[in-house]
């Protein structure tokens, strides 16, 4: 199973829209459109596909394609524990004594 990050979505993009775009590449496990506390979409989503090769093909084919007048940004998503950060760890910043 592989998760894809889909960014730069129009706010009126629905789960059905994303399913229609990604389903030709393979079986979809889930589609989650991120929303704020008020329920308004944030302009990105996560699409989970059953097959890793299908997810890679979808990411490559759909990168920089248009959906509702916006150019989608599609990249393979990393699991939360493996995200890279440029932020220093430990005692950085703060007041010096």
What pLDDT, on the 0 to 100 scale, is given for residue 77?
87
State mean pLDDT over 61-83: 86
Question: Is the pLDDT at 87 greater than 90, yes or no?
Answer: no
Does residue 37 belong to any structural domain of this protein? yes
Which backbone phi and psi does 34 adopt, to 5 degrees?
-70, 140
CATH of the domain at 23: 3.30.70.330
- CA separation for the pair 35, 17 (Å, rounded): 16
Instruction: Render pLDDT for 13-70 as a digit per residue (tens, 0 to 9).
Output: 999 999 999 999 999 999 999 999 999 999 999 999 999 999 999 999 999 899 999 9
What pLDDT was estimated at residue 89?
61
Taking the CB of residue 1, how many other CB atoms lie within 10 A of it? 11
CB distance 72 to 36 below 8 Å:
no
Residues 20 and 56: beta-carbon distance below 8 Å = no
The pLDDT, as a whole number, for residue 55 is 95
Name, in order, each residue with C-beta under 8 angstroms of 69's C-beta and a sequence gap of 6 or more: 10
Residue 91 lies in a domain: no
């Amino acid at each position: 199973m592989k998760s894809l990050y889909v960014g730069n979505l129009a706010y009126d993009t629905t789960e059905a829209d994303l399913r229609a775009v990604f389903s030709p590449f393979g079986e979809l496990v889930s589609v989650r459109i991120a929303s704020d506390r008020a329920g308004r979409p944030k302009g990105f989503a996560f699409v989970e596909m059953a097959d890793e090769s299908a997810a890679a093909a979808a990411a490559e084919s759909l990168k920089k394609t248009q959906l509702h007048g916006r150019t989608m940004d599609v990249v393979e998503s990393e699991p939360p524990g493996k995200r890279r950060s440029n932020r220093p760890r430990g005692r950085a910043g703060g007041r010096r004594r």
